[in-house]
A and B are shown apart, each in its own frame.
Chain A
Amino acid sequence: MSTATQPASQLVMPAKHYLNDNYGIRSWLLTKDHKRIAVLYLFSITFFFFVGGLFAAMIRLELLTPAGDLFTSDTYNKLFTMHGINMIFFFLIPSVPAVLGNFLVPLMIGAKDLAFPKINLLSWYIFIVGALFSLATMVTGGVDTGWTFYTPLSSGFVKTHVILMAVGILTAGFSSIFTGLNFIVTVHRMRAPGLTWGRLPLFIWANYAASLIMILGTPVLAITLILLALERGFHIGIFDPKLGGDPVLFQHMFWFYSHPAVYIMILPGMGVISEIVTCFSRKRVFGYSFVAFSSIAIAVFGFVVWAHHMFVAGISTYSAMVFSLLSFAVAIPSAVKVFNWTATMYKGSVSFETPMLYAFGFIGLFTIGGLTGLFLASLGLDIHIHDTYFVIAHFHYVMVGGMVMAYLGGLHFWWPKITGRMYPEGWAKLAALITFIGFNLTFFPQFILGYMGMPRRYHAYPEEFQVLNVLSTAGASILAVGFILPLIYFLYSMRFGEIAGPNPWQATGLEWETSSPPPTHNFEETPIVTEEPYHYGADREVTVVP
């Protein structure tokens, strides 16, 4: 296992690692090293996160007052559409898988690289091409269909560049398919000797489950968007009611991908939390196999619940009942995970470094986000809160309170591995606290707003909703600080941070057994795994709670 802690002053950067292996722009743009590709993704998605964040800030500013006085309604409609598209397709979906997953999957399983390094680089390029389409759309005037592209509005009514944007998302989708494919093959075929399925880190299990969704769901989004573009471009009638099409079918096909897609976003985040909680509790994760299999269960169940987005869309009552029942089933594995993380801390040795603070934030906020999902899965209640701010609040509790927290936690946790240097702990704790406070102030009022009946995507709203909207906007400005701070100190620490050493957290896992930053081929010699995962406190007796 890991070596004993050395005083920070004695640590030195390894002489040769993946960052200084060679230099120059070509060495980055033509790299096949999964770690460098992860860094490329990191910079790309950070850009899109802040572009999406800018749109969010503008939305919140507009909603400060009831009248639509800051932007025209067309501009506002474009803002929330572009916010959604940027955040979902160009930040959340690639966030943990493409950055942390790319960096860590081969390291954690003791492989030299992913199974298909060229395809890995290709998927970054495909992502960038998709992103360029999206940027081109933004520059030429944006899209105002909402990120859901509901027909017939998107196919026949709006006058913006829907096709261009659809092509952009479609392209980014293929990037996600290839990433998922790469992970699945790598996990199956590239594991180090001795690393059985029962010994895989939970982060790998979670990414594996998310990859399943990527390869099974994304193609359906692709064909749906192709049909939408054909319909808009050639006026053929597959979803257009004028030509006998059924607009509700578009919703079925769209949500067949887009509901599981939220599990693409959250599952890898859950994997990150499993790693962090065990490490900072110095304890083996509670119920390893239950946490592992719940990831797979979420991936599978996630595919059979999509029509809970359509309870008031005109689907049959019978169908609504089926989908509601199945939707409750998907809540169970998530609950199992939360309880297991909590139980992991029991009789542990808990410390409070920044990643752990984010993990606390994740567990708390995800619990609220998950439980408010039950409101929306419940048929009678969903009639009232569907398409209101309640949905917005629920979604952001899961995606920002859950996923972004996990992403930031993971970034802090593995930052020493990625860069070889530590981030400034004090500032990071401050940022985590600010994010937590800002987040709750932004999104909690939206639950109430939603139940009060404020519909989503409203440019102007009745006056009685103003107080809560002002609170939410105030929270958003705090949240913005919480997100900008890490950007600054991460950049700072890349040059000036303390040298981390191979294993600053004294964590288990193969990625901590190589130097920080790792060498280009990850390991000096192929590691052989002989231990159970999360083998903390090897000297102590193992006890089992009855």
Chain B
Amino acid sequence: MQYKLPLFPEQASTVAGPVDGLYLFLVLITTFFSLLVGLLILFFAIKYKRRPGHEAEQIHGSTLLEIIWTVIPLGISMVIFVWGAALYFHERRPPANALEVYGIGKQWMWKFEHPSGQREINALHVPMGRPVRVTMISQDVIHSFFVPAFRVKQDVLPNRYVDVWFEATKPGTYHLFCSQYCGTKHSAMIGEVTVMKPDDYAAWLVGGKVDGSLASEGEKLFQELGCITCHRADSGARGPNLTGLYGRPVRLNDGRTVIADNNYIRESILNPNIKIVSGFQPIMPTFQGVVSEEGLIQLVKYIETLSLQQGEPLNNRTSPSEIRDNEVPNIQDQMKQQNAAPQPLPGKKP
């Protein structure tokens, strides 16, 4: 049996290289200072070993030296800070054209949903060479999405969408770990991320059996739950028109303005009357306990696609999340064409 002893995980994303670069720099710093201190101690220990006739020379200290070894570490650590912060900033900002995947963590499994409707458990297929943004939520405790080969990690929280993004650079299968302790089978909450070449990925997307895209499932829910009774386009509607809403700033009736992002839409379904759109009455019933996390994701996705149907000029839009799908003329758009686009909503209750 042959054992390998690798020192690095595979580099399979665009940030892996830069992260390893920073790591190596820090390893260098650590080695240098550890050796410096270690060798100095060794040298002093030998040179000034206690022997008869030799006495210690009483030195009180040196302000100059103190300043030197305060300022130099301070300088070095500021370099590390800026370097690390720049990387972090990059890793925290999903590019506008990222492919969207939705993830749900629960004790003790990962569920992923692709916009086109594919569902996976403890597995995630992503294309190579394209940024992927995973929007995640937990159904119970805190989990953490960790793919060492991509050098990305994000805690997955209950009651709140968080996202993480990466751009895979190398086809293959990589570990997906839950890295936040989550109870009994924490170490079994693992999965595989499969990075595929774009063609293979397209084939994979078409190959699976799919009920319907997230948006079309969301539309079904939208009708079943009776949302359309109030959220209509006409002027007499009791709820705000959702078309063109996603990613927009919304003025609330207490004067504040919020961006209608995933979390706002989710919150508005569960606790609709806390942040009310200006000009409307707080009359919507809550859907807490009525819609599952999957259902919420579908509704959010549906509301997002409502904004894409408008065909407004792009420059009127404010949020990058709105622009993203229009700019990318590949798979996702093909998928959209396959899945029936939502029609103007009929004003009747199911």
Contact = CB atoms under 8 A, between A and B. Distances in A.
Q: Please say whether the chains A and B touch (CB closer than 8 A).
A: yes
Interface of A: 68, 73-74, 77, 144-146, 148, 150, 152-153, 157-158, 241-242, 247-248, 281-284, 286-290, 311-314, 317, 320-321, 324-325, 328-329, 331-332, 335-336, 338-340, 342-343, 345-352, 360, 363-364, 367-368, 371-372, 374-375, 377-384, 386-388, 448, 451-453, 455-462, 464, 466-468, 536-537, 540-546
Contact of B185 (A73, A242, A287): A73
For B77, B78, B162, the residue with the greatest tally of chain A CB atoms inside 10 Å of its CB is B77
Given A150-B181, A247-B157, A537 B61 contact: no
A386 B140 CA distance: 21
A290 B61 contact: yes
B177 A455 contact: yes
Contacts of A542: 58-60
Interface residues of B, number: 89
A528 B147 CA distance: 64
A378 B44 contact: no
A388 B179 contact: yes
A153 B142 contact: yes
B22 interface: yes
Nearest to A541: B58
B213 to A, nearest CB: 28
For A339, A388, A456, A459, the residue with the greatest tally of chain B CB atoms inside 10 Å of its CB is A339
A388 B158 CA distance: 22
A346 B58 CA distance: 10
Given A349-B56, A383-B151, A281 B84 contact: no
B325 interface: no
B142 A247 contact: yes
Contact of A462 (B8, B85, B175): B175
Nearest to B271: A244
Contacts of A152: 140-142, 158
B153 A383 contact: yes
Contact of A348 (B48, B92, B183): B48
Given A241-B157, A283-B57, A348 B142 contact: no
A481 to B, nearest CB: 24
Contacts of A382: 84, 88
A349 B84 CA distance: 43
B160 interface: yes
A216 B186 CA distance: 34
Given A388-B179, A453-B175, A540-B58, A73 B187 contact: yes
B154 A312 contact: yes
B77 to A, nearest CB: 4
Interface stretch (B35-43, B113-121, B228-236): B35-43
18 contacts: A247-B158, A314-B160, A324-B84, A331-B77, A349-B51, A352-B45, A380-B90, A381-B84, A384-B153, A451-B23, A453-B146, A455-B146, A457-B186, A457-B187, A537-B57, A544-B61, A545-B59, A546-B62
Contacts of A146: 181
A468 B69 CA distance: 35
Contacts of B187: 68, 73, 455, 457-461
B198 interface: no
Interface stretch (B26-34, B249-257, B326-334, B342-350): B26-34
B264 to A, nearest CB: 16
A28 to B, nearest CB: 40
A546 B60 contact: no
A340 B67 CA distance: 12
A363 B58 contact: no
Contact of B64 (A342, A453, A546): A546
Given A321-B85, A349-B55, A448-B7, A368 B30 contact: yes
Contacts of A347: 48, 56-57, 59
Contacts of B80: 328, 374, 377-378
B81 A157 contact: no
Given A152-B140, A284-B60, A349-B56, A381 B146 contact: no
A240 to B, nearest CB: 9
B86 interface: yes
A184 B7 CA distance: 47
Interface in B315-343: none
Contact of A349 (B48, B70, B186): B48
B155 A314 contact: yes
B148 A453 contact: yes
Contact of A312 (B15, B64, B78, B144): B144
B14 interface: no
B87 interface: yes
Contacts of B44: 342, 345-346, 348, 350
A287 B73 contact: no
Contacts of A540: 55-58
Contact of A384 (B29, B30, B78, B148): B148
For A144, A314, A377, the residue with the greatest tally of chain B CB atoms inside 10 Å of its CB is A314
B107 to A, nearest CB: 7
Nearest to B156: A314
B23 A283 contact: no
Given A288-B61, A384-B152, A544-B60, 7 more contacts: A335-B69, A339-B37, A340-B61, A347-B57, A457-B186, A466-B3, A542-B59
A388 to B, nearest CB: 7
B179 to A, nearest CB: 4
Contact of B59 (A150, A283, A377, A456): A283
Contacts of A458: 177, 186-187
Shortest 10 CB-CB contacts between residues of A and residues of B = A380-B87, A453-B148, A378-B84, A379-B88, A287-B61, A241-B159, A345-B44, A328-B77, A458-B187, A455-B179
B56 A348 contact: yes
Contacts of B33: 367, 371
Contacts of B48: 281, 345-350
Contacts of B65: 287, 339, 343, 545
A290 B87 CA distance: 34
Nearest to A450: B148
A336 B66 CA distance: 7
A511 B60 CA distance: 23
Interface in B118-168: 140-142, 144, 146, 148-149, 151-155, 157-160, 162
Nearest to B92: A317
B186 A312 contact: no
A150 B26 contact: no
Contact of A157 (B15, B45, B141, B160): B141
A351 B50 CA distance: 5
Contact of B40 (A281, A320, A342): A342
B186 A379 contact: no
A380 B70 contact: no
Contacts of B140: 152, 157
Contacts of B57: 283, 347-348, 537, 540, 543
B203 interface: no
B66 A287 contact: yes
A88 B186 CA distance: 23
Nearest to B77: A328
A545 B81 contact: no
Interface string B167-206: 0000000010111111111111010000000000000000
Contacts of A460: 187-188
Nearest to A321: B85
A320 B142 contact: no
B83 interface: yes
Contact of A338 (B5, B37, B77): B37
Nearest to A536: B56
A375 B91 CA distance: 17
A138 B5 CA distance: 38
B209 interface: no
Contacts of B146: 387, 453, 455
A304 to B, nearest CB: 15
A331 B148 CA distance: 27
Contacts of A372: 30
Given A321-B85, A342-B37, A451 B7 contact: yes
